[in-house]
Structure 1
């Protein structure tokens, strides 16, 4: 068992914060620079501020065991290509003083090495959930830009990212854990979700994985990973990017809000934005509910395997129960 697994979350984050502070000298920051934790889920993300140099940036320390160095390098290659070739505004990785983009961090408190990447700081604000139609149209447009690039991009040698197909999301591999271990799981839920998972699998098999439908996607393009500033739409956090159906991205856009009564309107807004940039067939549009439910069931698994995070704690058992309601409605129409 690793040292991380036998300490409280609070103690671990305190130690990780000290590791982050120690890493700043590798990037040439002054001794007065600070690293403040702003998010902890898959990884720990820090706002780095240097009052002497007047600079801000973002430090991401990866959790152990999720991505190896080759996969992280592949993520950074796609980010770079999206900025340069498709005009997508996203944070650029910043090299350390030794010229490398990926650092390995360790100290006496946390001796097991973990990867870290520094990114440029992007200005802007996360869209408000009070008025989502405009943001969802932006989401659709920027998703289409990324998908268009993905369809035409030649992958670099050694490129490797995870695969968010049924096997990787809901099946035996289950990258984020098994939905069977979701919070508040009951025998009735297990039976219902097994039927849901199998229906999703059959429909995705029929939908197919042709190059116009399946490729490299952001895989977590929800509002928390979108910044808006004037007419500019900026995308952050490609840590989950991998290979999946392009329409999986609309499922991720609705993460944690799939139950809202205005979801059909949000989907329409997303489609409207998407079609301003790239085509979307009527057949593809009709299958969007499958990708929403695929993501919803995957999040049941994520909550169960990440119960220590504040987000998972806040959603908990109620999210599993809400998923059952949505599953009943979906299966009534699609099974």
Structure 2
């Protein structure tokens, strides 16, 4: 990358971020860039200038920290983002779950447009209270994972009663997204995107998974007890531990889906570990401390695990990232090993495969 171009982009993002912050009642603040690009994120740390009295306002975070998101206006889906913010605001208003709280501007808006003279790009910005905590991966124990299950159950319990406001728009999961066009079951897609790795054997296994999934999804109820707004990406980098509590960030993939799909995503995050079985039992034990699992959850959860594997393989072959595509052969081998057993066996348990 051209260093001068990169430095120019960073300077422009910082100028836009500083301009955005003038619309919030948070006082003086320092900016630390956490990511850049089409969706840039800054950590915002408020402070008092020498001789200046600390700002006292309803928007000031307890520890003076926020997360400022700057999104390029081109391609920005305002309805989708606004709905995510409405969901977070509802969770903060109606529960004591630890989630980021949207912060409104002085005018009461949850999003604002920012444009500066002599800077070409125009951004949409939004501000969230900083959620403290740390993510845990290899140090994740059954005790900690049980708390994750409790959090997820409480989230689903609230989702069951959530009434979306007018104009609320979040993605709705559909069977065709995994098994229809532009997937490994699409002959044209397999021929043009899958590097010759999808042959007759692979196609037969994927087709049998699709047939079983179609039959099962036809009988799994879509009533609020089973289906609602889920987190959609509740893995290690999206749940945090803070003072014995679990918090959640990264709600960008929240959407309408089965609650068991959320559990399968969380379990996917610990796939392939030596303690995978103990962790799965802990997660489900924690979940059932809050809300009961369906009578057929063991069979249905395996369906969702199989579906997640297909989603993962589809995403690998859709990607233009060279590193991801290079991992496709080994990832495909792991997936086929598990899926082959899945379609030729009963629902008696078998571990979910890890990702290379």
Residue range with higher mean Cα deviation, 195-204 or 178-187: 178-187
Measured on the aligned residues, the alpha-carbon RMSD in Å equals 3.5
- Report the Cα offset of residue 172 of structure 1: 4.0
Query: Structure 1 residues 80 and 256, CA, compared in 2 at 3 Å: closer, same or farther?
Result: same
Distance in 1, matches of 2:15 and 2:327, equals 35
1:247 aligns with 2:260: yes
Instruction: Summarize the alignment of residues 43-54 of structure 1 with structure 2, pairs less than 5 Å apart.
Output: 43-52=39-48
Contact 2:197 2:329 in 1 (8 A): no
Contact 1:193 1:324 in 2 (8 A): no
TM-score (norm 1): 0.79
1:187 aligns with 2:219: no
Contact 1:24 1:33 in 2 (8 A): no
Distance in 1, matches of 2:119 and 2:66, equals 25
Deviations 1:97-138 (A, max 9, x none): 332111224455453x44322100121111232334233212
Aligned to 2:21: 24
Secondary structure of the residue that 1:142 maps to in structure 2? helix
Contact 1:91 1:236 in 2 (8 A): yes
Aligned to 2:135: 126
Q: What are the ranges of 5 or more consecutive residues in structure 2 without an aligned counterpart?
A: 49-53, 55-62, 345-356
Instruction: Summarize the alignment of residues 73-222 of structure 1 with structure 2, pairs less than 5 Å apart.
Output: 73-107=82-116, 108-111=118-121, 113-169=122-178, 171-172=180-181, 186-188=197-199, 191=203, 194-195=206-207, 196-222=209-235
Distance in 1, matches of 2:212 and 2:280, equals 21
1:236 aligns with 2:249: yes
Distance in 2, matches of 1:12 and 1:162, equals 35
Alignment match of 2:341 (pick from 320, 326, 332): 332
Secondary structure of the residue that 2:290 maps to in structure 1? coil
- Report the Cα offset of residue 145 of structure 1: 0.6
Query: Structure 1 residues 34 and 291, CA, compared in 2 at 3 Å: closer, same or farther?
Result: same
Query: Structure 1 residues 265 and 159, CA, compared in 2 at 3 Å: closer, same or farther?
Result: same
Contact 1:183 1:316 in 2 (8 A): no
Distance in 2, matches of 1:34 and 1:119, equals 14
Residue range with higher mean Cα deviation, 16-25 or 245-254: 16-25
Contact 1:37 1:44 in 2 (8 A): yes
Query: Structure 1 residues 134 and 23, CA, compared in 2 at 3 Å: closer, same or farther?
Result: same
Aligned to 1:4: none
Aligned to 1:33: 30
Contact 1:47 1:57 in 2 (8 A): yes
Q: What are the ranges of 5 or more consecutive residues in structure 1 without an aligned counterpart?
A: 1-8
Secondary structure of the residue that 1:27 maps to in structure 2? coil
Query: Structure 1 residues 160 and 263, CA, compared in 2 at 3 Å: closer, same or farther?
Result: same
More helix by share: 1
Residue range with higher mean Cα deviation, 254-263 or 281-290: 254-263
The aligned length equals 319
Distance in 2, matches of 1:147 and 1:264, equals 23
Aligned to 2:293: 280
Query: Structure 1 residues 75 and 271, CA, compared in 2 at 3 Å: closer, same or farther?
Result: same
Residue range with higher mean Cα deviation, 80-89 or 258-267: 258-267
Distance in 2, matches of 1:217 and 1:224, equals 16
- Report the Cα offset of residue 228 of structure 1: 0.8
1:55 aligns with 2:99: no
Instruction: Summarize the alignment of residues 255-294 of structure 1 with structure 2, pairs less than 5 Å apart.
Output: 255=268, 257-294=270-307
TM-score (norm 2): 0.75
Contact 2:238 2:250 in 1 (8 A): yes
